[in-house]
Amino acid sequence: MFRSALLLFLPLAAVAGETVSRPGILHLTIESAVRMALAKNFTIEVERFQPRIARQNVIREIGRFDPNFDISASRSENTVRDLFTNGQHLPGSGTARTDSITTGLSGLTPWGLSYDLGIGAINTPGRSGDLGDEINSNASIGLNQPLLRGFGTSANLAQIRIARNNVLVSEWQLRQRIIDTVTTTDFVYNELHLAHETLRVAERSRQLALQLLSDNSKRAQIGVMAQLDVTTARAEAAARQEGVILARRQVKDNENLLKQLVTHDLEQMLSVQVEIEPPPSHSFKADVPAGITEAISLRPDYQQALLEIRNRHINLAFTKNQALPRLDLNASLNLIGVDNGFGGSFEHVGRGDRTSWSAGAIFSVPIPNNAGRASVASAQLSSAQAVINLQRIEQQIVVDVDNASGQIITSRERIASTSEAHVLAQESLDAGEIRLRTGSGITFEVLELQKKLAEAEQAELRSRADYNKALSEYRRQTGTTLRRYNVIME
């Protein structure tokens, strides 16, 4: 398990220093292309925010248990200008003023205990003409402890535990995005190499047609070949020029796809030519059970499904607690001190000259508690659903790994078959050219043999590219892509 979602990639400058060999040329290997894709891919950069956001959500949930400190101060006055008693007017005036200041600390504990600690003083100065002030100080504590609903860490830490699991979910999602990016880069790199090779085959096929046209023209000049053979060769050479044009376009399109993966500034890169090394073809030994075991440990979708089950179970425990009746114990203690000075007033508080306390319990239960029971049933069904989904993914892993392994084997068999067909097509063309030179063959036959050679060579190239892509897909299905390219997540 990785600790966070920070990727150890080579910086683009370092990669560029290795890969750009001269101005206007970007020389790449499959490894450097992958490093650049991981360092400069918008999709990955967007996804990298998710673990950071998820960690902030954990801090937010932990903040529920932060103590709240409050302080307040106020002054109030009540002024009387004239007094009326028993219908008689008594001239006079007076002002009653009250000053108060309080401070306190309140909060919640992981066991559900809520507390409220406070200390304050109220100063009531004597009215005009009266003697002395009265300062009333107090220190208080209030406690409320649920015994059923809201009791225990399963209820009060549920959201923190879910948030922490969601951090891991976001990291596995990032890992999946990286795997997909590496696999896509591998695919595009192999397609670009195939496009280059296809262009080479198309140019060679055109050159063979032009060479045949030249040979036929010479034979026609000395009268040993009809003009029709010259025209036929010329028409085929012109037709094969289209294949070269299309192959060049395919190279350009695949270059742009690779540039899009490895750079932010695609517009600037449009003028850069990409040169690539042939992709390596690694050997493969089929071991489906071992591949399934690796997939269970490394595939992000499976790990996310496991975390989802944990979250559902946490939510189930929380929901069961919230469906319980409410039974809370509460208690309070208040220490009071009265004097005409602050020091004396708080001294009386410390001595406990005046105290008041209370203790009690609150019990409530909804009848027949339909909402609570329905919420529990829904959470239980949700947990069962998550377990079934995990089983579905396990089944899918078996199919995916077996299919991916089978595709590698099939592609390897295709390489052997198409390689042999390529050799035989070349031998057939050689024999056809000899027959044409000796006068026993015809131009149309040689042109057809040239096309068959090009098709056989193209089929071999496609099978080799498909083999490499099948290897990459197998690594994706088993979750071993990052191991192949030494990408480390910490």
The single-letter DSSP state of residue 126 is: P
Report whether pLDDT(132) > 80: no
Looking at the DSSP bridge assignments, the partners of residue 273 are 25
Classify the C-alpha dihedral 183-184-185-188 as positive or negative: positive
Q: Are 118 and 140 in contact (CB under 8 A)?
A: yes
Q: Provide the pLDDT confidence category of residue 489 given band limits of 50, 70 and 90.
A: confident
Which pairing describes strands 326-339 and 273-276: parallel, antiparallel, or unpaired?
Answer: unpaired
Least confident of 56-65, 80-89, 101-110: 80-89
When pLDDT is cut at 50, 70 and 90, the band that residue 128 belongs to is very low
Residue 8: per-residue pLDDT: 44
Quickly count: other Cβ atoms within 10 Å of residue 93's Cβ. 12
Q: Binning pLDDT at 50, 70 and 90, where does residue 292 land?
A: very high
What proportion of the chain, given as a percentage, has pLDDT over 70?
90
Q: How far is CA 194 from CA 10, 34, 122, 221, in A?
A: 27, 18, 87, 40
- More confident position, 117 or 260: 117
- Which amino acid would we find at residue 478? T
**Comparing 76-90, 284-298, 439-453, which segment has the lowest mean pLDDT?**
76-90
Instruction: Pick the range with the lowest mean pLDDT from 73-77, 106-110, 376-380, 451-455.
Output: 73-77
**Residue 22 DSSP one-character state:** B
- Compute the mean pLDDT over every residue in the chain, rounded to the nearest whole number: 87
Chain-centre distance for alpha carbon 271:
33
Taking the C-alpha atoms of residue 150 and residue 40, their distance in angstroms, rounded to an integer, is: 48
Confidence check: pLDDT of 20 > 60: no
Q: Is the pLDDT of residue 92 over 80?
A: no
How does residue 88 score in pLDDT terms, banded at 50, 70 and 90? low
**Positive or negative CA dihedral for 39, 43, 44, 50?**
positive
CA 52 – CA 436 distance, rounded (Å): 72
Question: Which pLDDT band, with edges at 50, 70 and 90, does 266 fall under?
Answer: low
State whether residue 284 is helix, strand or coil: coil
Q: What is the pLDDT of residue 490?
A: 67
Split at pLDDT 50, 70, 90, the class of 13 is very low
Half-sphere exposure of 266 (CA within 13 A, CB side): 11
For the cut 70, the answer to whether the pLDDT of residue 91 exceeds it is no
DSSP state string for 313-346: HHHHHHHHHHTSPEEEEEEEEEEEEEESSHHHHH
Q: Which domains does the chain have, with CATH numbers?
A: 12-40+159-313+378-484 (1.20.1600.10)
* In the predicted structure, residue 440 carries a pLDDT above the cut 90: no
Average confidence (pLDDT) over 88-107: 77
pLDDT at 10: 41
Specify whether the CB–CB gap between 418 and 459 falls below 8 A.
yes
Nearest 10 degrees: Cα torsion 154, 159, 160, 165 = 100
CA gap 138, 345 in Å, rounded: 9
The alpha carbon of residue 334 and the mean position of all alpha carbons in its chain are separated, in whole angstroms, by 53
The whole-number pLDDT of residue 18 equals 47
Q: In what order do the strands lie in the sheet with 114-125?
A: 68-85, 88-108, 114-125, 133-146, 326-339, 354-364
**Which stretches of 321-448 are assigned E, i.e. beta strand?**
326-339, 354-364
Residue ranges of E strands in 304-443: 326-339, 354-364
Q: What is the pLDDT of residue 288?
A: 93
